[in-house]
Amino acid sequence: MLAFIRGRLLSGLLTIFGVVVLVFFLARLTGSPIDLFFPEGATQAQLESFSRAHGLDRPLLEQFWVFLSNAARGDFGMSIWQQRPALQAALSEMPATLMLTFLAMTVSVIIAVVLGTIAAAFRFRLVDRIITILTLATGSIPHFWFALVSILVFAIILRLVPTSGAGNWQSWILPVATVSLGPIGILTQVTRGAMIEVLSSGFVRNARARGFGSTRILYRHALRNAALPIIAVAGDIAAGMVNGAIIVSVVFAFPGIGKAIIGAVLARDFPVLQACIVVVGIAVVLLNLIIDLIYVVVDPRVRLS
Amino acid sequence: MSYLLEISDLNVTFETRFRTVPAVRNVSLAVGQGESVALVGASGSGKTVLGRSVLGLVDEPGVVRGSILFDGRQVVGRTEEELREIRGVGVAMVFQDALDGLNPVYSVGSQLSEVLTVRLGHSRAEAKERAIELMRQVGIREPESRFNNFPHQFSGGMRQRICIALAVGMRPKLLIADEPTTALDVTVQAGILRLIKTLQRETGMGLIFITHDLAVAREVSERMAVMYNGQIVEEGATEEIFSRPQHPYTRALLLAHPARAKSWRDLEPIPDEFVTDEPSSDNQTVSAPAPTASIG
Ligand SMILES: Nc1ncnc2c1ncn2[C@@H]1O[C@H](COP(=O)(O)OP(=O)(O)OP(=O)(O)O)[C@@H](O)[C@H]1O
Ligand SMILES: [Mg+2]
């Protein structure tokens, strides 16, 4: 068990290292922050002192080495634009991202499991058809379109929720709905498929033959067995949300790591960009580890190795 | 005399868009309290479907017509919710394919306890005690230490025995055992047959034992019904059928059975006209030429 966790963390660190290397060099291909920061007429002395202050005057490989050795100690340098450490700039955006991911995943898993189970229990009947069509639709609606239309309808016309920001709880509704939409569609179909397979198994037939009620059969006997594929897919989706939720940050001006990454890319704020990537990487690695551990709890046949 | 189970004019058909498969045709069969009836017949003759229909477990696209009286009450046409009263505590069934008969994510002990608490209203402590007792009865050694093991930690034969424990644990009035030993090796097979007979003697339950093995049928049953192509073609006292088979199919079955032969050269293959993979949909009763060999 411990060996498994250690192995997973190690391979996770390797992955993060690889991504950071890529980001480090790719970001510098886009140009220098100097071009953005100084107006046309800036003096050579100003440019040089700025370069020196941020280490931009050194050879690329040396910059990389300095970055690596500092990062190993948890120091990602100062943000170029914000007067604070890059790591702090990245971390301060994480609570909103984690909260959004958590809410969206909770909402979509609950809705999808209920809908998928109903669809499987009544497969090929009318309810099943309706659920399938609806969830295929939500799974394929473009996020941008949904976000814009929902702002128009709920925020501007009906004035039920604010148009942007993350001030009060109402402002979370549209962002959570937007990022849940796709996952609800996918997870409902995954649940339905897994449940249909489980419901035709021998042990479900035996549970019926023993006179158990349908609620007990569906939720205690079938769902627990259908949980593995649902968890696997939900895990992937959650990892994607930690990564992105970029639409939400753009359309709803919603805080989060997505917004921080976009900001850092546009402003060529390399230290913040690198810190964000590492923070997201660590979050994703931890998330995957948690999902592996949930597997073990849910299915006794799963062996960690 | 009122029977424990009285099946009359039962028809089960599977109606798909493309064709209709009559799996059980005009079957009538009665089982008394504590009686053992063997149901024999070749693969596809409708034995399992007949057994399932007693529990109301024939699913779409299967259609059940006719009458099944269990303990004087009609089974055919009842809702899933109404059938729960009968299932398990009235009629229990041990199914043919035992390998996925247990839920893989719960320990064997918790599945036994679940039946006892949910269906018999035992307390948790009582249930655990009885579950261990049941495991011992079906021949699981050191049941206390095996209680928390999961199905994948047991062999196929052990899992089948746990399924039997789950069925008899509810003390049903009728046990339908659907080829419970087919997947097991001969040594285990004898043990399970003995176990079922012992449990039957102890609890006084009726037994329908489905098998295609005539030697097994002879060992466990007082009465025997021979199924062919969805119909019961012969029924009577087991010994009577063995010594004086009336129907040509029964004679063919007896001739084909290895237990009667001293060498494989003595075996008669089942005549081609009896070899069916699917029941034919014509509704006439079976008639076939009598086999040439005489039966001793
Ligand atoms: N769900 C179903 N849909 C369609 N046809 C079915 C279904 N279940 C059973 N049948 C058909 O009913 C017939 C009887 O099947 P059944 O399983 O009762 O045979 P059996 O006598 O138990 O055979 P075996 O000895 O191999 O177990 C077969 O022809 C089978 O194809
Ligand atoms: Mg069968």
**Closest-approach residue (CA) in chain A for B103:** A203
Q: What is the CATH number of the domain that holds A185?
A: 1.10.3720.10
- pLDDT mean across residues, chain A: 87
Whether residue A58 has pLDDT greater than 90? no
Question: Burial letters for B9-42: b for 16+ Cβ neighbours within 10 Å, e otherwise?
Answer: ebbbbbeeeeeebbbbbbbebbbbebbbbbbbbb
Name the residue among A209, A212, A301 with its Cβ closest to that of B152. Answer: A301
Write the DSSP symbol of residue B38.
E
pLDDT score for B285: 44
Give the residue from B155, B153, B177 showing the smallest Cα distance to B165.
B177
- Does B102 sit within 8 Å of A210, measured CB to CB? no
pLDDT score for B277: 52
Give the residue from B131, B89, B86 showing the smallest Cα distance to B111.
B131
pLDDT score for B296: 37
pLDDT score for B91: 95
Whether residue B266 has pLDDT greater than 60? no
The response to whether residue B46 sits with its C-beta less than 6 Å from ligand 1 reads: yes
Q: Which residue has the higher pLDDT, B259 or A162?
A: A162
* Structure confidence at residue B281 as a pLDDT band (50, 70, 90): very low
A197 within some domain:
yes
- What is the count of structural domains for chain A? 1
pLDDT digits (tens, 9 = 90+) for B13-34: 998 888 889 999 999 999 999 9
The response to whether residue B52 sits with its C-beta less than 6 Å from ligand 1 reads: no
Radius of gyration of chain B (CA): 20
A28 within some domain:
no
A170 with B49: CB under 8 angstroms?
no
pLDDT score for A262: 87
B5-105+150-287 CATH? 3.40.50.300
A279 within some domain:
no
**Closest-approach residue (CA) in chain B for A209:** B87
pLDDT score for A213: 92
* Structure confidence at residue B292 as a pLDDT band (50, 70, 90): very low
pLDDT digits (tens, 9 = 90+) for B249-260: 888 888 876 655
> CA geometry: angle at A143 spanning A137 and A147, to 5°?
110
Name the residue among B89, B106, B152 with its Cβ closest to that of A211. Answer: B89
Q: β-pairing, B174-178 with B91-94?
A: parallel
pLDDT score for A199: 92
pLDDT digits (tens, 9 = 90+) for A180-206: 999 999 999 999 999 999 999 999 999
pLDDT score for B271: 64
pLDDT score for B286: 44
Residues contacting residue A152 through CB under 8 Å, at least 6 positions apart: none
Whether residue A159 has pLDDT greater than 90? no
Q: Kindly list the residues from chain B whose CB atom is less than 8 angstroms away from the CB atom of residue A200.
A: none
Whether residue A304 has pLDDT greater than 60? no
pLDDT score for A228: 87
In angstroms, the CA B295 to CA A176 distance is 79
Element (H, E) at B208: strand B206-211
In angstroms, the CA B100 to CA A272 distance is 54
The response to whether residue B44 sits with its C-beta less than 6 Å from ligand 1 reads: yes
A283 within some domain:
no
Q: Which residue has the higher pLDDT, B294 or B213?
A: B213
Radius of gyration of chain A (CA): 24
Helix (H, G, I), strand (E, B) or coil at A211: coil
A168 within some domain:
yes
A199 within some domain:
yes
HSE, CB side, 13 Å, CA atoms: give it for residue A190: 25
> CA geometry: angle at A272 spanning A268 and A274, to 5°?
95
A229 within some domain:
yes
The response to whether residue B12 sits with its C-beta less than 6 Å from ligand 1 reads: no
Q: What is the residue with the minimal CA distance to atom 16 of ligand 1? A: B46
* Structure confidence at residue A297 as a pLDDT band (50, 70, 90): confident
Q: What is the residue with the minimal CA distance to atom 11 of ligand 1? A: B23
* Domain range enclosing A166: 94-255
B131–chain A Cβ distance below 8 A for any pair: no
* Structure confidence at residue B215 as a pLDDT band (50, 70, 90): confident
**Shortest CA gap A298–chain B (Å):** 7
pLDDT score for B1: 57
Q: What percent of chain B has pLDDT over 90?
A: 56
Those residues of chain A whose CB sits closer than 8 Å to some CB in chain B are: 201-203, 205-214, 216, 221, 224-225, 298-301
- Does B92 sit within 8 Å of A208, measured CB to CB? no
**Closest-approach residue (CA) in chain A for B99:** A202
* Ligand 1 geometric centre to CA of B276 (Å): 12
B183 with B160: CB under 8 angstroms?
yes
Name the residue among A203, A211, A214 with its Cβ closest to that of B103. Answer: A203
* Structure confidence at residue B270 as a pLDDT band (50, 70, 90): low
- Does B170 sit within 8 Å of A209, measured CB to CB? no
pLDDT score for A116: 95
Q: Which residues 79-98 of B are in CB contact (within 8 Å) with A?
A: 80-81, 83-89, 92-93, 95, 97-98
* Structure confidence at residue B295 as a pLDDT band (50, 70, 90): very low
Residues contacting residue A59 through CB under 8 Å, at least 6 positions apart: none
Name the residue among A203, A210, A214 with its Cβ closest to that of B88. Answer: A210
ipTM: 0.83
Whether residue B265 has pLDDT greater than 60? no
pLDDT digits (tens, 9 = 90+) for B170-208: 999 999 999 987 767 777 788 888 888 888 988 889 999
pLDDT digits (tens, 9 = 90+) for B94-141: 998 767 899 999 999 999 999 999 999 999 999 999 999 999 988 888
B102–chain A Cβ distance below 8 A for any pair: yes
Shortest-distance ligand to the CA of residue B47: 1
State the first-to-last Cα distance of chain B, in angstroms, to the nearest integer.
35
pLDDT digits (tens, 9 = 90+) for A234-262: 998 998 887 657 778 878 888 888 888 88
pLDDT digits (tens, 9 = 90+) for A82-122: 889 999 999 998 898 899 999 999 999 999 999 999 999 99
Q: Kindly list the residues from chain B whose CB atom is less than 8 angstroms away from the CB atom of residue A201.
A: 100
A206 within some domain:
yes
